[in-house]
């Protein structure tokens, strides 16, 4: 039998020294013990079963070694939704919420078909559906395992969406009004990618082989060029405005870049010129 409070204090100190979020230590305790821990931490003033202690210690060690807490507790939050995440999906990022905001400001609750392309956990499609129940949302991802997570998240949040496994829009012949996408856009040799992201996040969700990181956008634009749609919204890398502007010169699209809260060009909207 081992005392929990000692363990908590020890790992909180280590987390502080490593500039890690100490709240995550509590999240891991709550996850393993399956209880809520109050401010006084009375719940920790007791002994626990040795096997639970070993599990806690193992997970705390992973966290100290930079495994994102979301992959430990399998919980992430996006646009007010609680989502399940595992190693097969990217942890939804705050920046992506700004893309959802853009869509919602252009298209308040209307009866339209919406595609979340490269949907991963389903965070974009699900948050759009949550805000606008009239939207008919389809999530498309190439990864069967990611789609399983999106399906789980749809059930978890009681939201009715379609989930399809497909390679981008290849042979996808259904009509849609708007498309939203946060595709992979990082050059696989990029040195700026943190050790933790490279180690724990799925590479299929992040990396592409071309240096400018625009190969997937090109494939999507080629497909959109053949279709009728109202608007398409993309998350982009902070240094991709220029290569994407050059790429867009090859298409008859109207386009607009938008900066995120950190004043970086992180979003793109395209519309077809009539
Ligand atoms: C950057 S993640 C975005 C996930 C989620 N939309 C988000 O914002 O957190 C990119 C996703 O694209 C998927 N993907 C990669 N290549 C794809 C392809 N050719 N067709 C469809 N999905 C693809 C990956 O499986 C991954 O889930």
Q: Mind listing the pLDDT tens digit for each residue in 100-114?
A: 999 999 999 889 999
- For 127, residues 6+ apart whose C-beta sits below 8 A from its C-beta are 78, 79, 80, 81, 97, 100
Q: Is the CB of 146 under 6 A from ligand 1?
A: yes
Q: What is the mean pLDDT of residues 162-170?
A: 98
Nearest ligand 1 atom to alpha carbon 89: 27
Q: Is the CB of 193 under 6 A from ligand 1?
A: no
Which residue CA neighbors atom 4 of ligand 1 most closely?
Answer: 120
Q: Is the CB of 201 under 6 A from ligand 1?
A: no
Which of 115, 120, 128, 214 most suits a substitution to test ligand 1, by most atoms within 8 Å of the C-beta? Answer: 120
- Percent of the chain surpassing pLDDT 70: 99
Strand positions, DSSP E, the chain: 2-3, 47-48, 75-78, 81-84, 113-117, 136-141, 162-165, 178-181, 186-187, 207-208, 231-235, 253-259, 265-272
Nearest ligand 1 atom to alpha carbon 121: 5
- The confidence score (pLDDT) of residue 133 equals 96
Between 144 and 108, the more confident residue is: 144
Q: Is the CB of 90 under 6 A from ligand 1?
A: yes
- The confidence score (pLDDT) of residue 2 equals 58
Residues 33-58: pLDDT tens digits? Answer: 999 998 888 888 888 888 999 999 99
- The confidence score (pLDDT) of residue 41 equals 85
**Cα(248) to centroid(ligand 1), Å:** 21
Q: Is the CB of 183 under 6 A from ligand 1?
A: yes
Q: Is the CB of 214 under 6 A from ligand 1?
A: no
Q: What is the mean pLDDT of residues 212-236?
A: 97
Helix H or strand E encompassing 102: helix 94-106
Rg of the chain's alpha carbons, rounded to an integer? 21
- The confidence score (pLDDT) of residue 1 equals 45
Q: Which CATH number fits domain 87-272: 3.40.50.2000, 3.30.930.20, 3.40.50.150, 3.20.20.150?
A: 3.40.50.150
Kindly tell me if the per-residue pLDDT of 193 is higher than 80.
yes
- The confidence score (pLDDT) of residue 46 equals 84
């Amino acid at each position: 039998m081992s005392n929990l409070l000692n363990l908590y204090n020890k790992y909180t100190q280590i987390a502080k020294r490593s500039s890690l979020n100490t709240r995550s230590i509590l999240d891991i305790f709550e996850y393993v013990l399956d209880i809520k821990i109050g401010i006084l931490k009375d719940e920790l003033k007791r002994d626990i079963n040795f096997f639970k202690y070993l599990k806690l210690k193992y997970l705390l060690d992973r966290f100290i070694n930079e495994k994102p807490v979301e992959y430990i507790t399998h919980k992430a939050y996006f646009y007010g939704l609680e989502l399940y995440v595992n190693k097969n999906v990217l942890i939804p990022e705050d920046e992506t919420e700004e893309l959802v905001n853009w869509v919602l400001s252009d298209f308040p609750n209307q009866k339209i078909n919406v595609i979340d392309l490269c949907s991963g956990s389903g965070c974009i499609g699900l948050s759009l559906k949550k805000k606008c129940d009239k939207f008919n949302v389809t999530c498309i991802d190439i990864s069967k395992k990611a789609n399983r997570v999106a399906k789980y998240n749809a059930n978890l949040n009681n939201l009715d969406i379609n989930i399809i496994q497909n390679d981008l829009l290849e042979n996808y012949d259904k009509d849609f009004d708007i498309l939203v996408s946060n595709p992979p856009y990082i050059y696989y040799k990029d040195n700026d990618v943190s050790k933790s992201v490279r180690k724990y996040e799925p590479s299929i969700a992040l990396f592409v082989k071309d240096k400018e990181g625009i190969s997937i956008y090109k494939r999507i634009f080629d497909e959109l060029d053949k279709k009728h749609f109202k608007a398409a919204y993309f998350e982009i890398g902070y240094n991709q405005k220029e290569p994407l502007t050059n790429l867009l010169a090859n298409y008859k699209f109207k386009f607009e870049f938008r900066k995120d809260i950190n004043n970086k060009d992180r979003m793109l909207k395209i519309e077809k010129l009539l």
